[in-house]
């Protein structure tokens, strides 16, 4: 359904004195998403997760330039097409009620999204009603304003907006931090159900353990690239391919809880070779000379020559 190959994004910034600098925020990122699957995108802060979502929604800032191939349903995903599909075939589950209109009753907002997707006003009312029922939102919730919702209700309203779009691809950015564990589980369950209903789902999160609960595959981002794409079970069975993924996994509290020293490279000055080379326990001279390609190993993908 979605196929991203070798996506690179550069931001151009002007400093004082009009000195231009280029930030390489995404480098050779590749990822596929099939209908009916949840692909989790994990990686630390600044690894490019949200930028990927913004690219697919066509909302990158104007100082961003990108290269690479983006295909959605087999057709190139141009800026024009992104705008046409946004909120329709490609929908975002926003991370907070801040995305809702504070002055409009939530039932009306969900109906409007349905209508934007070509549903008639009467059918949009019925669909909204059914969707609210489906997510255990009492009928009178429709008449509430966003500020009158509890955190859990707000999440269910946000999921409802994505559900009424009938979108083929649903993107959820960071739906979990700071939420009560029950609410997290509920939010994840809703995403899983969207996939069971045949949609493609991208779940963007810091939380690998949350991702593993519902994802079919996990794409690990580092410094704006995909270092590994693994099946969820590769984590528990110890079949991870990339040293960064292995380090991430070991750093979890339930495992060794050993953090990986160092930081991601500065997007202004990326290393010539492998983007992980300066932190890698396996580094050899070859790694610092050339960027490794994404290779397929055991039904997964890895960007490391030593894997």
Ligand X SMILES: Nc1ncnc2c1ncn2[C@@H]1O[C@H](COP(=O)(O)OP(=O)(O)OP(=O)(O)O)[C@@H](O)[C@H]1O
Residues lying near Ni ion in the complex (CB under 5 A) are found at 49-50
Nearer to ligand X, 4 or 23 (CB): 23
Nearer to Ni ion, 173 or 234 (CB): 173
Which residue, judged by CB position, is nearest to Ni ion in the bound state?
A: 50
Nearer to ligand X, 47 or 160 (CB): 47
Q: Which does 11 bind (CB under 5 to 8 A by kind): ligand X, Ni ion, none?
A: ligand X
Query: What residues have CB less than 8 Å from 19, skipping those under 6 apart?
Result: none
Site for ligand X, residues 248 to 267, rule: CB under 6 A: 267
Q: What's the token pair of residue 90?
A: 């490609």
Nearer to ligand X, 42 or 114 (CB): 42
Q: Is 46 in the site for ligand X (CB under 6 A)?
A: yes
Site for ligand X, residues 13 to 42, rule: CB under 6 A: 23, 25
Q: Exposure of 264 by Cβ count < 10 A (0-12 exposed, 13-18 middle, 19+ buried)?
A: buried
Q: What's the token pair of residue 20?
A: 């231009």
Other Cβ atoms within 10 Å of 278 Cβ, number: 15
Nearer to ligand X, 48 or 292 (CB): 48
Q: Which does 46 bind (CB under 5 to 8 A by kind): Ni ion, ligand X, none?
A: ligand X
Nearer to ligand X, 24 or 199 (CB): 24
Q: Which does 281 bind (CB under 5 to 8 A by kind): Ni ion, ligand X, none?
A: none
Query: What residues have CB less than 8 Å from 262, skipping those under 6 apart?
Result: 278, 279
Contact 30, 6 (CB under 8 A): yes
Q: Which does 275 bind (CB under 5 to 8 A by kind): ligand X, Ni ion, none?
A: none
Q: Is 47 in the site for ligand X (CB under 6 A)?
A: yes
Q: Is 62 in the site for ligand X (CB under 6 A)?
A: no
In the bound complex, what is the minimum distance in angstroms from residue 144's beta carbon to ligand X? Answer: 29
Rounded Cα distance between 34 and 36, Å, is: 6
Select from 140, 143, 146 the least CA-distant residue to 97. 146
Rounded Cα distance between 229 and 207, Å, is: 16
Q: Which does 235 bind (CB under 5 to 8 A by kind): ligand X, Ni ion, none?
A: none
Query: What residues have CB less than 8 Å from 88, skipping those under 6 apart?
Result: 116, 117, 118, 165, 167
Q: Is 51 in the site for ligand X (CB under 6 A)?
A: yes
In the bound complex, what is the minimum distance in angstroms from residue 268's beta carbon to ligand X? Answer: 9
In the bound complex, what is the minimum distance in angstroms from residue 306's beta carbon to ligand X? Answer: 25
Q: Mind spelling out the 3-state secondary structure of 29-57?
A: EEEEECCCCEEEEECCCCCCHHHHHHHHH
Q: Give me the residues that bind ligand X (CB under 6 A), please.
A: 11, 23, 25, 43, 45-51, 61, 206, 267
């Amino acid at each position: 359904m979605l196929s991203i190959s070798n996506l690179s994004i550069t931001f151009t910034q002007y400093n004082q004195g009009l000195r231009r600098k280029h930030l390489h925020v995404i480098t050779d990122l590749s990822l596929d998403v099939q209908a009916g699957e949840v692909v989790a995108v994990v990686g630390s802060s600044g690894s490019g997760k949200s930028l990927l979502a913004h690219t697919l929604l066509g909302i990158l800032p104007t100082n961003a330039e990108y290269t690479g191939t983006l295909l959605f349903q087999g057709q190139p995903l141009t800026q024009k097409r992104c705008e046409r599909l946004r909120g329709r075939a490609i929908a975002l589950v926003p991370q907070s009620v801040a995305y809702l209109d504070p002055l409009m009753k939530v039932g009306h907002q969900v109906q409007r999204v349905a209508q934007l997707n070509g549903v008639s006003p009467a059918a949009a009312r019925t669909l909204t009603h059914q969707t609210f029922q489906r997510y255990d939102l009492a009928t009178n919730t429709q008449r509430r304003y966003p500020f009158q919702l509890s955190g859990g209700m707000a999440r269910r309203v946000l999921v409802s907006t994505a559900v009424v779009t009938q979108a083929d691809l649903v993107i959820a950015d960071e739906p979990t931090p700071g939420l009560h564990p029950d609410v997290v589980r509920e939010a994840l369950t809703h995403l899983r159900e969207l996939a069971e209903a045949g949609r493609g789902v991208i779940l963007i999160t810091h939380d690998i353990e949350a991702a593993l609960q519902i994802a079919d595959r996990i794409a690990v981002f580092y410094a704006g690239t995909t270092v590994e794409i693994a099946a969820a079970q590769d984590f528990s069975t110890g079949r991870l391919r990339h040293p960064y993924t292995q380090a991430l996994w070991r750093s979890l509290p339930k495992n060794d809880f050993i953090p990986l020293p160092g930081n991601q490279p500065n997007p202004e000055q990326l290393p010539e070779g492998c983007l992980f080379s300066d932190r890698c326990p396996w580094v050899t001279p070859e790694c610092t000379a050339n960027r490794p390609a994404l290779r397929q190993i055991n039904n997964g993908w890895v960007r490391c020559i030593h894997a």
